[in-house]
Amino acid sequence: MKTPLLLFFFLHLLGPSGAVYKQWIPNTNFENASNWDQGRVPCTNDVVVFGSSEVVSVFVQSPHSLTDMYLPLNGEFIMAPGAGFAAFDGNYEPGCETASEIKFASSGSYQWYDPTLWHAAVSLEDLERGKYMFSVDEEHVPCQYDDVLFQPETSFRVNIESSEQMIRLRSISLMGQKFTDDDTLAEYLQSRSAKLQFHGQGALGLSNARCPDKSGCECGNAADHHRICAALLENSEDQCPVPTCKNPLKPVGHCCEICGAIISLEYSTGFDIEQYRNRILHTFLSLPRNAGVQMAISKVHGPHTFLGLLARSSASLIQIVLMDNRTGSQSGSHAEQLAEGIMNDIAKYGESFGILRSSLQTATGNNWSAQGVERHIGASTAGMVIGLFLILLLSGTVLLLYRKGILRSFPCVHLLSRWKRMNDLDSLGEAMDKGFDNPMFDTPSSLAALDSACSREETLKEMGSKNTQVYYINPLYDETELRA
Ligand SMILES: *[C@@H]1O[C@H](CO)[C@@H](O)[C@H](O)[C@H]1NC(C)=O
């Protein structure tokens, strides 16, 4: 088991996980044609109208000569050098012969939590080149360790109403100035411009820190899930598009159901999310034949299920969402294929990446049914020994109780088949540190544990027979195990 140690040093050289940049898309610039009711920028013969009650901040890039202009009561123009307004001087511009009224129609109701209003990328370079990240909806708005950018030379207005006391970020760039601490930001937020740019019940807090955990950090937007989805579905009457597969999947943090695949990973201390993301990108997604597949990988606060296994102290898991561009009966099939490739890769090399266990769910237009697969990564030899020891201990207890008459019959005949799963559990490591409680002197809790273990086993069997295929790999015959 030299690999984890080497990996450990390697990972520490790399440091904590990487950056994500989120850039606000809309602007309220004067020269942006889509901000005017006629879909064009005002010209000389126009009468420009700002609604008197509108609250606006408008960036003006260049000089304009206009016939007349009605101004709002509360607002500002931010003038670039050389920009300005002049009265119409009698020289008609070509294409601007007819006098007309043109209204500023930029929506003042943009929400911070609208995932359609942000571009996300892993570097500033990618942002510029339009190489955006795919992510679940909750993570498409800024997460707690993200750098947020409002493009310089643009004006904007955004409602920062939030369910959290504070919208937490790593940094924020406004009008070309980058803010990394709360004091400087607070000063800026006192300015007149800022009061027009940000409104609504909410506050911004800056940490200037990256995610400190190399296995990744949760985005932190779960409390605003409803707000994010309401904004996303605003123009479709709160209706998600109907997926073209039966039993579509619902990724954690996503608003609508999808066709494709979800891989869930349980991880150990050696896991590095950036390193593993790169592994998938280089081994699978960068291949030309996989161009149509999109992947999102992140740490999420998952449901406790893991196909009915023992609940763990922490329910953080790594979620990999794969979607493709195929349609109809083919929808999701490419993502499924790729996901199976990743599962095979995990079976072979998962352990060296710190992956303890993986499960796959797929939904495609092809078979019209959701499927589940679960694999265990080979446990260390020590783990196996502990597992065996625990089983002996447990079966010993059962026998003893049986003899004493406390237990009339074995509560569950599948007891022995559970040992593999037990030795995988992290909690076992904790138990080791504290030493084992002697189950013989701890009858009630041991009984309860056995009981719940078996009822879960039953649920698992039921699930398996319904619509889920569950595979267990016996580590004793698992070739990857033998090599380890
Ligand atoms: C114009 O404004 C719209 C909406 O605010 C925005 O989506 C678009 O990117 C802007 N275009 C330019 C060129 O800035």
Q: Are residues 323 and 457 in the same domain?
A: no
Predicted TM-score (pTM) of this structure: 0.72
Ligand 1: centre distance to CA 30 (Å): 11
Residue 466 lies in a domain: yes
Pick from 429, 338, 334, 333: which is nearest to 379 by CA? 429
Ligand 1: centre distance to CA 322 (Å): 30
Looking at residues 470-482, what average pLDDT do you find? Answer: 38
Q: What is the pLDDT of residue 377?
A: 58
**How many Cβ atoms are within 10 Å of 426's Cβ, its own excluded?**
15
Q: Residue 475: which pLDDT band, with cuts at 50, 70 and 90? A: very low
Ligand 1: centre distance to CA 32 (Å): 6
Pick from 363, 306, 366: which is nearest to 339 by CA? 363
Pick from 202, 263, 227, 27: which is nearest to 137 by CA? 227
Q: Are residues 262 and 229 in the same domain?
A: no
Residue 312 has pLDDT above 80, yes or no: no
Question: Both tokens of residue 356?
Answer: 């303890």
d(CA 58, CA 79) in angstroms, rounded, equals 8
Q: Are residues 197 and 125 in the same domain?
A: yes
Q: Are residues 83 and 213 in the same domain?
A: yes
Residue 21 CB contacts under 8 Å (≥ 6 apart), including other chains: 120, 121, 122, 123, 124, 126, 127, 146, 147, 148, 149
Residue 7 lies in a domain: no
Q: Are residues 69 and 135 in the same domain?
A: yes
Pick from 26, 69, 35, 29: which is nearest to 50 by CA? 69
Q: What is the pLDDT of residue 44?
A: 87
| Any ligand 1 atom below 6 A from CB of 34 | yes
Q: What is the pLDDT of residue 150?
A: 97
Q: Are residues 99 and 164 in the same domain?
A: yes
Contact 365, 329 (CB under 8 A): yes
Which residue, of 377, 397, 422, is where some domain finishes?
A: 377
Residue 438 has pLDDT above 90, yes or no: no
Residue 8 has pLDDT above 90, yes or no: no
Q: Residue 25: which pLDDT band, with cuts at 50, 70 and 90? A: very high
- CB burial of residue 53 (10 Å; 0-12, 13-18, 19+): exposed
Residue 195 lies in a domain: yes
Q: Are residues 62 and 180 in the same domain?
A: yes
Which residue, of 183, 210, 239, is where some domain finishes?
A: 239
Q: Residue 17: which pLDDT band, with cuts at 50, 70 and 90? A: low
Q: Residue 45: which pLDDT band, with cuts at 50, 70 and 90? A: confident
pLDDT tens-digit readout, 125-173: 999 999 999 999 999 999 999 999 999 999 999 999 999 999 999 999 9
| Any ligand 1 atom below 6 A from CB of 350 | no
Q: What is the pLDDT of residue 183?
A: 96
Q: Residue 421: which pLDDT band, with cuts at 50, 70 and 90? A: very low
Q: Is 278 helix (H, G, I), strand (E, B) or coil?
A: helix
Q: Are residues 210 and 254 in the same domain?
A: no
| Any ligand 1 atom below 6 A from CB of 308 | no
Any idea which residue has 């937007």 for tokens? Answer: 221
Protein residue with least CA distance to atom 5, ligand 1: 26
Q: Residue 371: which pLDDT band, with cuts at 50, 70 and 90? A: low
Residue 453 has pLDDT above 50, yes or no: no
Instruction: Please give the number of the atom of ligand 1 that sits closest to the Cα of 107.
Output: 5
- Total domain count for the chain? 3
d(CA 318, CA 329) in angstroms, rounded, equals 29
Residue 338 has pLDDT above 60, yes or no: yes
Q: Are residues 231 and 213 in the same domain?
A: yes
Residue 423 lies in a domain: yes
Q: Are residues 58 and 204 in the same domain?
A: yes
Mean per-residue pLDDT of the chain: 77
Residue 10 lies in a domain: no
| Any ligand 1 atom below 6 A from CB of 23 | no
| Any ligand 1 atom below 6 A from CB of 395 | no
Q: Residue 290: which pLDDT band, with cuts at 50, 70 and 90? A: very high
Q: What is the pLDDT of residue 147?
A: 97
Question: Both tokens of residue 105?
Answer: 């129609």
Of 309 and 233, more confident: 233
Q: Are residues 44 and 190 in the same domain?
A: yes
Question: Both tokens of residue 336?
Answer: 């499924």
Q: Which domain holds residue 451?
A: 410-483
Which helix H or strand E contains 357, and what residues bound it? strand 355-363
pLDDT tens-digit readout, 393-410: 455 444 444 444 444 333
Q: What is the pLDDT of residue 439?
A: 39
Q: What is the pLDDT of residue 309?
A: 52
Residue 233 lies in a domain: yes
* Residues 310-323 as b or e (16 or more Cβ within 10 Å = b): beeeeebbbbbbbb
Protein residue with least CA distance to atom 12, ligand 1: 32
d(CA 131, CA 389) in angstroms, rounded, equals 52
297 φ/ψ angles, rounded to the nearest 5 degrees: -130, 130
Residue 225 has pLDDT above 60, yes or no: yes
Residue 261: which CATH number?
Answer: 3.30.70
Q: Residue 78: which pLDDT band, with cuts at 50, 70 and 90? A: very high
Residue 170 lies in a domain: yes
**How many Cβ atoms are within 10 Å of 262's Cβ, its own excluded?**
25
- 3-state SS string over 206-228? ECCCCCCCCCCCCCCCHHHHHHH
d(CA 382, CA 372) in angstroms, rounded, equals 29
Contact 185, 167 (CB under 8 A): no
Residue 389 lies in a domain: no
Which residue, of 205, 239, 273, is where some domain finishes?
A: 239
d(CA 11, CA 352) in angstroms, rounded, equals 12
Question: Both tokens of residue 262?
Answer: 């979800």
Q: Are residues 314 and 229 in the same domain?
A: no
| Any ligand 1 atom below 6 A from CB of 151 | no
